């Protein structure tokens, strides 16, 4: 069974640009969560989608947005990039939305110059 796939794995952007990251969950999983990982702030919850609906949202500015498609694949978008957005963005999938095991992908490492 294929794991969680995140693309791209690495990307470099400049301040002011926008970026879209993609996540394909494990087949059959309907919940996708996004987390930001930085050395300073650790792992922080961005948002969770279940059946194309946002279920939870973390404490991030509106520049961070996401969506989920009918096939459970998810994308997150960061607009007007800032230097502080440099981070590893992790996607996690789960069968449902009630504390089943979260399966994380290997992440998309974003560097903002």
Partner 1 sequence: QQQVKQSPQSLIVQKGGISIINCAYENTAFDYFPWYQQFPGKGPALLIAIRPDVSEKKEGRFTISFNKSAKQFSLHIMDSQPGDSATYFCAAGGGSGNKLVFGAGTILRVKS
Q: Which of residues 66-105 bind partner 1 (CB under 8 A)?
A: 90, 92, 94, 97-105
3-state secondary structure the chain: CCCCEEECCEEEECCCCCEEEEEECCCCCCEEEEEEEECCCEEEEEEEEECCEEEEECCCCCCEEEEECCCCCEEEEECCCCHHHCEEEEEEEECCCCCCCCEECCCEEEEEC
- Interface mask toward partner 1 for 7-26; x: CB under 8 A: --------------------
Closer residue to partner 1 in complex, CB, 82/106? 106
**Min. distance of Cβ 58 from partner 1 in angstroms?**
7
């Amino acid at each position: 069974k294929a794991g969680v796939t995140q693309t791209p794995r690495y990307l470099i952007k400049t301040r002011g640009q926008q970026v879209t990251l993609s996540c394909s969950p494990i087949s059959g999983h309907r919940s996708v969560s996004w987390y930001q990982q930085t050395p300073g702030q650790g792992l922080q919850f961005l948002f969770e989608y279940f059946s194309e609906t946002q279920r939870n949202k973390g404490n991030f500015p509106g520049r961070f947005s996401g969506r989920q498609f009918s096939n459970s694949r998810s994308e997150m978008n960061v607009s007007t990039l800032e230097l502080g957005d440099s981070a590893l963005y992790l996607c996690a999938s789960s069968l449902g939305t009630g504390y089943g095991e979260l399966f994380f992908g290997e992440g998309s490492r974003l560097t903002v110059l």
